């Protein structure tokens, strides 16, 4: 796996997370490098420009229309019901990690599938537990990954959006 950097900002409201994503996109951070995690997505907004699992869909699509169609349903994100969390929506590159975790029946200690996905990109387990707690408390995670320069740019943008927490992880798996 390539080494990259990840930044995770925590927002108490969906609107704040949405503004943060828009600010990242306006600053030139590619939306394919952004993930949003939250539960209780009660919205009629149309998601546009989030990273899709193109290679994975292409591979499964070559196995037949049924499998290609099923993977196509998961094209832009994952909606799942996680015990204790309830309904959770995962958008962006982290959705791929969630699918991989579910595909491989990944169980890492006491972490949920969401925690396993976040952990699989190199975030330390103690931080993963904090993020799981944030999502359980109806907060939203906005994550971006990329080069050190891109993450430094994202840090500048996100720090101006007043997140409740902002963490950077250097050299994690991408």
Determine the pLDDT at residue 96: 63
Q: Which pair of structure tokens corresponds to residue 130?
A: 């904090």
Residue 117: Cβ-neighbour burial (10 angstroms; 0-12, 13-18, 19+) = buried
Alpha-carbon distances of 38 from 10, 67, 70, 125, 141, rounded to whole Å: 10, 27, 23, 19, 6
Residue 108 has what pLDDT? 44
In terms of pTM, does the model score above 0.75?
A: no
pLDDT at 28: 92
The confidence score (pLDDT) of residue 120 equals 77
pLDDT of residue 121: 80
**pLDDT in single tens digits along all 174 residues of the chain:** 455 799 999 999 988 998 999 999 999 998 888 888 887 654 444 443 333 344 444 444 444 444 444 444 444 555 555 555 666 666 666 666 666 555 444 444 445 667 777 887 888 888 988 998 898 888 999 999 888 999 999 999 999 999 999 999 987 655
What would the DSSP string read from start to end of 13-72? SHHHHHHHHHHHHHTT--GGGEEEEEE-----PPP-S----HHHHHHHHTT-HHHHHHHH
Per-residue confidence (pLDDT) for residue 34, from 0 to 100 = 87
The confidence score (pLDDT) of residue 163 equals 97
What's the number of CA atoms in the CB half-sphere (13 Å) around residue 19? 13
Q: Which single residue is written with the structure tokens 């990109």?
A: 121
User: What pLDDT does 33 receive?
Assistant: 85
């Amino acid at each position: 796996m390539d080494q990259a950097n990840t930044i995770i900002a925590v927002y108490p409201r969906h609107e704040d997370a949405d503004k943060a994503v828009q600010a990242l996109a306006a600053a030139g951070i590619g939306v394919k490098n952004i993930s949003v995690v939250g539960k209780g997505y009660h919205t009629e907004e149309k998601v546009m420009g989030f990273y899709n699992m193109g290679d994975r869909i292409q591979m499964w699509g070559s196995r037949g229309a049924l499998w290609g169609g099923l993977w196509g349903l998961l094209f832009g994100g994952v909606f799942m019901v996680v015990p204790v969390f309830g309904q959770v929506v995962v958008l962006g590159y982290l959705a791929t990690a969630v699918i991989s975790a579910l595909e491989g029946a990944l169980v890492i200690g006491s972490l949920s599938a969401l925690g396993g996905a976040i952990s699989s990109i190199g975030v330390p387990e103690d931080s993963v537990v904090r993020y799981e707690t944030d999502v359980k408390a109806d907060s939203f995670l906005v994550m971006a990954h990329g080069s050190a320069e891109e993450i430094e740019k994202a840090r500048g943008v996100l720090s101006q959006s007043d997140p409740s927490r902002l963490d950077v992880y250097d050299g994690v798996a991408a």
